[in-house]
Structure 1
Amino acid sequence: MQLAAYHEGVLPRTYQTQNCSIARGLEVVGDRWTLLVIRTAFEGVRRFDDFQSELGVARNVLTDRLGRLCDEGVMRRHRYQERPDRYEYRLTRKGVELWPVMMSIMLWGDRHYAENGPPVLVTHRGCGGELTRALTCDKCGVSLQPNDIEPRPGPGI
């Protein structure tokens, strides 16, 4: 990894020549709208218009991000209507593997930027315990996965 280049701020706009898995991953998920689309998909949103209204993102930007996520195999399109064709966007296994990353970013943001407390509390469906930095339940200690959790409004909402 070329740390000097990172510190000097000379990374090119694309990272194809970087021999770094972080840089290559950023090619796929490294912008704000992409991460928010993924977050919203984890919240259960699947349809284009629902993504657009939930996020407030321009339609052309959303079209681009969803297309890129589908091209990369992070999401897949599933037709739910014909005439006109309408599609849902669902996370693939590759997309679901981003859950630990998303939760880690959320918990980091809670620690450093949620002045009034977390806006969302992620709790274990099994016992009501809260998600820890190790992505375990603080009550029972079990390792949590996306289907094991229930988001609830937090004090910072």
Structure 2
Amino acid sequence: MKNNPIPQCPVARGLQSVGDAWSILVLRDAHTGLTRFDQFRKSLGIVPTMLTKRLKALTDDGLLEKRLYSERPPREEYVLTEAGRDFLPVLMMIGAWAHRHCDGELARYIDVESGSEIEPIAIDAITGAKLGTRAMRLSLRGESEPGDR
């Protein structure tokens, strides 16, 4: 994203960290409890060199962290950081979008405690309105709001 016309755009900035499908799928698998290189490789069917690059990028960007799980031989696992855990609602919304707009049978997310299907929605914490139901604009802090002039 070198030619980002709005460098302060939060979507563009976020995509710099997780902007490819492999990274997003690694985060999906990490949220289901996978932590080890071979687990990710088997689940995703990804070649080892690409997985190594994605894990390094996610670690460098602070979404995953490496932890030693075996000293002999030395082996590391990848666990979600707070930033990585904060990505779960984004994953859920991508899945909800796919259920509405993509053809074919898709897996569903199930709440383990209740056994019911999870139906995520995005709500503005300030207004309580469902996102997408009200007009919005992109604004930098300190810019005047409409009607302030």
Q: Same fold (TM over 0.5)?
A: yes
Q: How far, CA to CA, are the matches of 1:80 and 1:60 in structure 2?
A: 22
Q: State the secondary structure of the residue aligned to 1:78.
A: strand
Letter in 1 for 2:93: S
User: Offset of 1:19 from its aligned partner?
Assistant: 1.9
Instruction: Give the number of aligned pairs.
Output: 123
Larger Rg: 2
1:60-100 Cα distance to aligned partner (Å, 9 max, x none)? 11111111111111011010112331111000111010000
1:109 counterpart = 2:103: no
Alignment of 1:2-17 (within 5 A): 12-13=1-2, 15=4
Q: Secondary structure at the match of 1:132?
A: coil
Consecutive aligned runs of 4 or more in structure 1 exceeding 6 Å deviation: none
Task: Look up the SS of the partner of 2:13 in the other structure.
Answer: helix
Find out whether 1:73 has 2:65 as its counterpart: no
TM-score by length of 1: 0.70
Higher helix residue share: 1
Structure 2 SS opposite 1:123: coil
What corresponds to 1:139 in structure 2? none
CA contact (8 A) 1:73 1:94 kept: yes
Question: Equivalent residue for 2:38?
Answer: 49
Q: Decide which structure has greater strand share.
A: 1
Q: What CA deviation, in whole Å up to 9, does each residue of 1:123-153 have, x standing for no partner?
A: 2233333212327xxxxxxxxxxxxxxxxxx
Question: % of aligned pairs identical?
Answer: 38
- Computed over aligned residues only, the root mean square deviation of the Cα atoms, in angstroms, reads 2.2
Alpha-carbon distance between aligned partners in 2 of 1:60 and 1:131, rounded to the nearest angstrom:
34
Partner of 2:10: 21
